Structure formats: C-alpha cells, structure tokens
C-alpha cells in the first residue's frame, strides 16, 4: 500500500511523543501490506473499524498506542493507497465531530 501522507503521522508524533513508535510501526506494516478488504486489514489489526462518515463514505479507524489515539484513514483497495485523514486523541475521537467533516 502507498501511504499518503507520512508527514501527518510525523507531525502528530511531534505533538504526542508516545505515539511516535506505534505510528512508525503502523506505517511500516501498512506500506508492505496488500490489503484487498477490511477483512484483510483485521487479520493484522483486529480492532480496525470501518466507520461511515457524513459524506457517505467508509473510513477505517485504527487504535494507536494502546487505544490512546485514533488514526482515521481512507483505504482505496483497488489503487493500493491509504490516505491518512485524521489523527486524534481518544477523547477527541469520542466526541464524534470528526465524522461530520469527512
């Protein structure tokens, strides 16, 4: 998978140092993956969730750093691309406002 963009992962890790190593591990795994469906994603990340957002699209949400953070992505399986859409704390994710902007 081509992960777009690593810059967002690094910027978030700069603000949340304890997320740096887990995000780097996620990046390495995702970059080498050949996911064809959410089921493929869940073979590696059992707690990954497909969530419908305001646009009507599905995004895939990953738990990061022991459930402290959430990584929201759009995975285009046919093009083998993962778009990093949002990174947030568990508290920010829980408010749900992010769903209305995607």
Q: What is the CATH number of the domain that holds 29?
A: 3.30.2310
Number of separate domains in the chain: 1
Residue 66 has what pLDDT?
A: 86
> Residue 70 is part of which domain span?
2-101
Location of structure tokens 């591990």: 25
Helices (H), ranges, the chain: 6-15, 20-32, 38-44, 90-95
Residue 67 has what pLDDT?
A: 87
Which one-letter DSSP state was computed for residue 51? Answer: E
- 36 in Cβ contact with 43 (< 8 Å): no
Residue 62 has what pLDDT?
A: 97
Residue 47 has what pLDDT?
A: 94
R_g of the chain, CA atoms, integer Å: 13
- Give the closest residue to 85 by CA, choosing from 43, 57, 44, 47: 57
Is the overall model pTM greater than 0.75, yes or no?
yes
Location of structure tokens 């990953």: 62
What are the residue ranges in the chain where pLDDT is below 70? none
Kind and range of the H or E element at 33? none
Q: Quick one: tokens of 32?
A: 């080498």
């Amino acid at each position: 998978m081509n992960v777009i963009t690593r810059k967002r992962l690094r910027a978030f890790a700069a603000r949340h140092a304890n997320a740096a190593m887990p995000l780097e591990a996620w990046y390495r795994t995702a970059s080498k993956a050949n996911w064809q469906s959410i089921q493929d994603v869940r073979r590696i990340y059992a707690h990954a969730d497909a969530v419908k957002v305001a646009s009507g699209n599905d995004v895939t949400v990953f738990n990061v750093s022991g459930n402290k953070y959430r990584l929201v992505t759009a995975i285009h399986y046919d093009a083998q691309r993962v778009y990093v859409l949002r990174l947030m704390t568990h508290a920010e994710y829980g408010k749900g406002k992010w769903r209305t902007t995607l």
